[in-house]
Amino acid sequence: MLTDAFGRTIRYLRVSVTDRCNLFCSYCRLPGEAILPNNQEILNFGEIVRLIRLFLELGVERIRLTGGEPLLRRNIVGLVQALAQLPGLQELTLTTNALLLERYAAALKTAGLQRVNISLDTLNPETFDRITQHNSLSKENLLHRAGLPAVLAGIAAALQVGLQPVKVNMVVMRGINDHEIPAMLSFARQQGVLLRFIETMPVGEAGLDMADLFVPADQILDQIHRHFGSQLLPVEQPGSGPARYFNLEGTTANVGVISARSRHFCNTCNRMRLTSKGKLVYCLGRQDRMDLKQPMRDGASDAELKQHIQQAVALKPERHAFEQAENPHIGAHMSALGG
């Protein structure tokens, strides 16, 4: 069992399989940032499987594959199949922008993926292009040109093959998409997906200009209450993630909010992040890292790697530093951390 210095048990690991992404969302990446091919700097599948096996042996139960965009990683279905067979794994999920999900949903389900989280910040095509900088991407690459219709098709495919519950994550930004909160909830109710609203976070250079866009979770919930005229009643939702869930009274609709800034959940944090380059991230809001790739490539045994992991868990901070002057916008871009 992995327990940190504050008594929190680590049971959840987010694993980035690539830094690459086919979108340039404004809160995640910098405009014009190069989309580089996978190379020797990133973990190969054998290394990913080995490290995840060690985490499972140490008590981790839930694995989420992330990116960048994980569906851009070659043979991602094969990786899912290999991971799904590991002893001790209770949940295997994936976060995606869904541009390629229609193509891969059935194969991922067959390989052993249990469900998906889908990033979708708007239902308006023009706003989608603005947030994702979709129009600035290469016109030669059809994967980059699919846009909002491809995301909606990906959601439909996930529902059809049973990658459920499908969770849709909306990063709420003042003056950009905050007016769409009611429409997004109506869409979620119609489609049968679980919508979660996420506060913006000042991570990496891409987060430098997000302060004026911040909308606290309480304002999001208040807008839902005023629009629908119904109370929001706290409910329990399966899983141990950071979201707080509410039922829209008089309906079957539940909605979640992830309030990393206005109401942090650090005291119950049970997760760590492994980057595609093999760095174990203690906290999304801190820059401390433990390199697992180099010791592994230098021939470290399983026992030695487990010791590195345990040392990293012991160094996990009590809480993030998003609001602290000495650490306002540190760390890599969100796309390199797995979100």
Give residue-wise pLDDT tens across range 136-189.
Answer: 554 434 444 579 999 999 999 999 999 999 999 999 999 999 999 999 999 999
Judge whether 2 lies within some domain. Answer: no
Local structure of residue 82 (DSSP, 8 states) = H
Q: Are 118 and 101 in contact (CB under 8 A)?
A: yes
pLDDT at 328: 45
Evaluate whether residue 219 is within a structural domain. yes
Domain-located, residue 6: no
User: CB of 186 within 8 A of CB of 166?
Assistant: no
Residue 83 inside a domain? The answer is: yes
Is 7 a domain residue?
no
Residue 12 CA to residue 184 CA, distance in Å, equals 28
Q: How many domains does the chain have?
A: 1
CATH number at residue 315: 3.20.20.70
- Among 336, 328, 302, smallest CA distance to 57 is for 302
Domain assignment of residue 1, yes or no: no
Q: Which of 190, 186, 194 is nearest to 224 (CA)?
A: 186
List, for the chain, all residue ranges whose pLDDT scores fall below the cut of 50.
Answer: 138-144, 206, 325-330
pTM across the whole model = 0.90
Residue range of the domain that includes 19: 12-337
306 located within any domain: yes
In a domain, 115, yes or no: yes
Residue 260's pLDDT is 75
